[in-house]
Amino acid sequence: MIVEFRDDWQNFPCKEWQGSRTVFGYGRAGARGKGHAHREAWKEAHPDFMLSPKEFVMHACDNPPCYRIEHLGLGTAADNMADKEAKGRGNRKLRLSKDQIAQIYELADSGKSRNAIRKATGHGYSTVTRYLNERE
């Protein structure tokens, strides 16, 4: 079962976590910063629903720091993997070409945010982050 996101989620801009983030870009929130901001947002929006550690709060926008409830959906580990595959992010061994890496660096050097680079290049947020972190 692929999680169903709101049909109109694109009408709402990402709401990016401004506090500390994990190495994968997810906002740190909750007790002592051990939770993820998007999971905390889901729990706050659904107070009567008990979220299990085995349930994934997934992003329609594929932007890890985003915690806008309209962009979030609930799924399983299998849903999460299927969503990644459907969006072309399933192959972690995929290496970008020198031209693709240069484009990421060029956009970053021009002051673009990682989310803007993700949108401009079509690569996932974690891919953009990985290459920018490798350069630093």
- pLDDT tens digits, residue range 37-60? 999 998 999 988 888 888 899 999
- Cβ distance 18 to 37 under 8 Å? no
Amino acid at 20: S
* Residue 111 structure tokens: 């002051």
Domain-located, residue 93? no
- Is 10 a residue whose pLDDT tops 70? yes
**Residue 91 located in a structural domain:** no
Pair (124, 82) in one structural domain: no
Report pLDDT digits (tens) over 82-113: 887 777 676 555 578 888 889 999 999 999 99
CA–CA separation, 115 and 81 (whole Å):
21
Looking at residue 1, what is its pLDDT? 46
Residue 51 belongs to what domain range?
A: 9-86
Q: Specify whether 114 is located in the same domain as 55.
A: no
Helix (H, G, I), strand (E, B) or coil at 130: helix
Taking the mean position of all CA atoms in its chain, how far away is CA 55?
Answer: 16
Tally of structural domains, the chain:
2
74 domain-assigned:
yes
The answer to whether residue 4 sits within a structural domain is no
Is there a single domain that holds both residue 74 and residue 105? no
Residues 58 and 122 in one domain: no
Question: Domain check: are 20 and 44 in the same one?
Answer: yes
**pLDDT above 90 coverage of the chain, percent:** 37
Q: Is residue 103 part of a domain?
A: yes
**C-beta pairs of 39-43 under 8 Å, 24+ apart in sequence:** 40/67, 41/67, 41/68, 41/69, 41/72, 42/69, 42/72, 42/74
